[in-house]
Amino acid sequence: MKYKRVLLKLSGEFMSGNGFGIQPEATKALAQEVAKAHQLGVQVAIVVGGGNFWRGARQGVGMDRASADYIGMLATIMNALALQDALEFIGVPTRVQTALTIQQVAEPYIRRRAIRHLEKGRVVIFGGGTGNPFVTTDTAAALRGLEMNVDAVLMAKNKVDGVYNDDPRKNPEAKKFDILTYHQALVQGLQVMDATAMALCQEQNMPIVVFDMFTEGNLEKIIKGERVGTLVHS
Residue positions in the annotated binding site for ATP?
9-12, 51, 55, 158, 164, 167
**Residue positions in the annotated binding site for UMP?**
50, 69, 130-137
Q: How many residues does the chain have?
A: 234
**Which residues have CB under 8 Å from 159's CB, separation 6+?**
169, 212, 214
Listed in sequence order, the DSSP H helices in the chain are 24-39, 56-59, 65-89, 111-119, 137-147, 182-187, 195-204, 218-224
**Residue positions in the annotated binding site?**
9-12, 50-51, 55, 69, 130-137, 158, 164, 167
> For 116-138, b where at least 16 C-beta lie within 10 A, e where not — what string?
ebbeeebbbbbbbbbbebebbbb
Residue 227: half-sphere exposure toward Cβ, Cα within 13 Å:
3
Cβ(220)–Cβ(36) under 8 Å? yes
Cβ(170)–Cβ(160) under 8 Å? no
Q: Are strands 208-212 and 176-177 parallel, antiparallel or unpaired?
A: unpaired
